[in-house]
Amino acid sequence: MSAGIDTRPAAASDFDIVKSWLSAAGLPSADLTTAHLPHFLIAVTDTGVPIGAVGIENVGSIGLLRSLVVDPSTRSAGVAGRLVSDLEIRAKKQGVSELWLLTTDADGYFSKLRYERRERRQAPVEIQRTREFSSLCPGDAVLMSKLL
């Protein structure tokens, strides 16, 4: 990973850039509001420039990892891995024992991070009730999970 990359909780001023990254990447953003920002981490350069984001939707002791996105100019620099790792640490501290996610094209990447493919019928009810699972992600999205 590039030196000088850090993560921090998202702020209201990050909303527009996060929403634009998600839209550009074709990721679900229709339900994203500023109320979600406390559940996002932002990757920043050593000069404070935002270069990536990841969010979590907590449903009790289960979390839905959502919206991992990195500015295209900084891909392959380890930013995504740093975001996921820091989110997992933060989630565990908040009492989350397992993370779930849906992806249309990053299952290979998440497999390297020890997420395992699951059948949609295996999703906990709490995950099935999320808007991302029930309506925002396509039915052919790959479901994955990881115990923390």
> What pLDDT digit, counting tens, does each position of 60-103 carry?
899 999 889 998 888 777 899 999 999 999 999 999 999 999 99
Q: Is residue 39 part of a domain?
A: yes
Residue 71, domain extent: 6-147
C-alpha separations of 74 from 11, 57, 132, 136, 147 in Å: 21, 25, 26, 27, 29
Q: Is residue 54 part of a domain?
A: yes
pTM over 0.85: yes
- 3 state SS of 32: coil
Strands 98-103 and 50-59: unpaired
Q: Is residue 1 part of a domain?
A: no
pLDDT of 119 reads 93
The pLDDT mean for the chain works out to 89
Strands 142-147 and 40-44: unpaired
Q: Is residue 55 part of a domain?
A: yes
Q: Is residue 41 part of a domain?
A: yes
Domain count for the chain:
1
pLDDT of 28 reads 77
Residue 67: name the closest of 112, 119, 14 by CA: 14
Give the number of other CB atoms < 10 A from CB of residue 69.
25
